[in-house]
Structure 1
Amino acid sequence: MPKSLFWARTDTAGCEHVVLDDGQGLTAQGVALAVDPIPYTCRYRLAVGPDWSTNRLEVESEGAGWSRSVRLERGRDGWRVRTGEEGDLDAALSAAGHPPAGLPGTDDPGRLAEALDVDLGGSPLTNTLPIRRVGLGRLPADLATAVSVAWVLLPGLAVVPAEQVYTSLGPGRVRYSSDTFTADLEVDPDGFVVRYPGLAERVDPR
């Protein structure tokens, strides 16, 4: 049966809703909205194989006077990245006092060669991908696992390689670290985030 998950952002005004099926890997379609750094809507489609490594991510973001898209697809020869752009996001960011986002995608997909997971900026859903892929719930507490991800920044959709570390803290708790950032996540038995301190909390039907 498909699942429906909804998160409210706690760092800014925003939310995310995704409908997914995790019976054989993961297929998901989601929508995320936020007001920072400027108001935007993001729509994404995600396909993850039975081994929980990512096969494809398609993302579209849009706001007043601009829209962008990126498609990441992983094959035997590495990642293929396709992008689209209309309007001027950087002008909108500049008018709001923010630095430019640069171009969507990446000029060197080879930099993503080691990535088996994707991380969509601000999305609690994509934390589940490495948690399920490495079987973090079955690992001893305090055992750290390093992963390489293709990090998709919002709203600009630049794609950059990133190194992240996931550590089991016991049932229902996972520590996520990247560079100097650390957050202790609360997750359900299926590895989906319930609470991400400083970012989002899941809202379940009453």
Structure 2
Amino acid sequence: MPKSLFWTRTDTAGSEHVVLDDRQGLTAQGVALAVDPIPYTCRYQLTVGADWSTSRLEVTAEGAGWSRSVRLERGGDGWRVRTGEEGDLDAALRAAGHPPAGLPGTDDPDRLAEALDVDLGGSPLTNTLPVRRLNLGRAPADQPRTITAAWVLLPGLAVLPAQQVYTSLGPGRVRYASDSFTADLDVDPEGFVVRYPGLAERIDPR
């Protein structure tokens, strides 16, 4: 049966709800909302293979007077990236006192060549992808694993290669690090995030 997961953001007003099936890899449909840096709604569809490497991510983001989309697909010849844009997100950001987001997508998909995972900004779900792919639930503790992820920034949907490090800390605990940022995640037995300090906490049905 499909699963339903819900997180509330702890860094800003926002939330994420996803319906997923993880019996053979992962298929997921989710909606994320946040007010920072400006109010937006993000909808995404994610497809992950049986080996837990990502094959497709489609994302749309929209707010007052603007919308953007990006589609990432990974094949034998690397990543293909398609984008769309309506309205003027950068104007909305400037009006709110924030720097512009720039263009969605990437001008050089080859920069993503080493990425087997995607990282959707602010989404605890996508942390599960390397956790499951690297089998960190059964990995020895304190052995860092370095990956490259295709990092999708919200709300602008720029796509960047990001080097990230995942380390098992024992049952139910995984350390995530990127550049100078580090967070110790609480995960359930299936690798889904329960608590991401400074970002989100999962709300489970009672």
1:82 matched to which residue of 2? Answer: 82
2:119 matched to which residue of 1? Answer: 119
For residue 87 of structure 2, what is the amino acid of its counterpart? Answer: G
What SS is found at the alignment partner of 1:90?
helix
Structure 1: tracts of 5 or more residues without a match:
none
What SS is found at the alignment partner of 2:142?
coil
CA–CA distance in structure 2, aligned partners of residues 30 and 173 of structure 1: 24
For residue 89 of structure 2, what is the amino acid of its counterpart? Answer: L
1:129 matched to which residue of 2? Answer: 129
Tell me how far 1:138 sits from its aligned partner. 1.0
- Structure 2 residue 10 is matched with structure 1 residue 10: yes
Query: Structure 1, residues 118-147: CA drift from partner, whole Å, max 9, x if none?
Result: 000000000000000010111101011001
Query: Structure 1, residues 26-69: CA drift from partner, whole Å, max 9, x if none?
Result: 00000000000000000000000000000000000000000000
Q: Identity of aligned pairs, percent?
A: 85
The TM-score, its normalising length taken from structure 1, stands at 1.00
Structure 2: tracts of 5 or more residues without a match:
none
2:177 matched to which residue of 1? Answer: 177
The TM-score, its normalising length taken from structure 2, stands at 1.00
What SS is found at the alignment partner of 2:137?
helix
Kindly tell me the number of residue pairs found equivalent between the two proteins.
Answer: 206
Tell me how far 1:197 sits from its aligned partner. 0.1
2:47 matched to which residue of 1? Answer: 47
CA–CA distance in structure 2, aligned partners of residues 41 and 4 of structure 1: 19
CA–CA distance in structure 1, aligned partners of residues 44 and 131 of structure 2: 20
The 5 Å alignment of 1:22-41 reads 22-41=22-41
For residue 130 of structure 2, what is the amino acid of its counterpart? Answer: P
For residue 118 of structure 2, what is the amino acid of its counterpart? Answer: V
Tell me how far 1:202 sits from its aligned partner. 0.0
- Structure 2 residue 105 is matched with structure 1 residue 143: no
CA–CA distance in structure 1, aligned partners of residues 36 and 158 of structure 2: 16
2:193 matched to which residue of 1? Answer: 193
What SS is found at the alignment partner of 1:136?
coil
For residue 65 of structure 1, what is the amino acid of its counterpart? Answer: G
1:154 matched to which residue of 2? Answer: 154
CA–CA distance in structure 1, aligned partners of residues 78 and 171 of structure 2: 35
1:95 matched to which residue of 2? Answer: 95
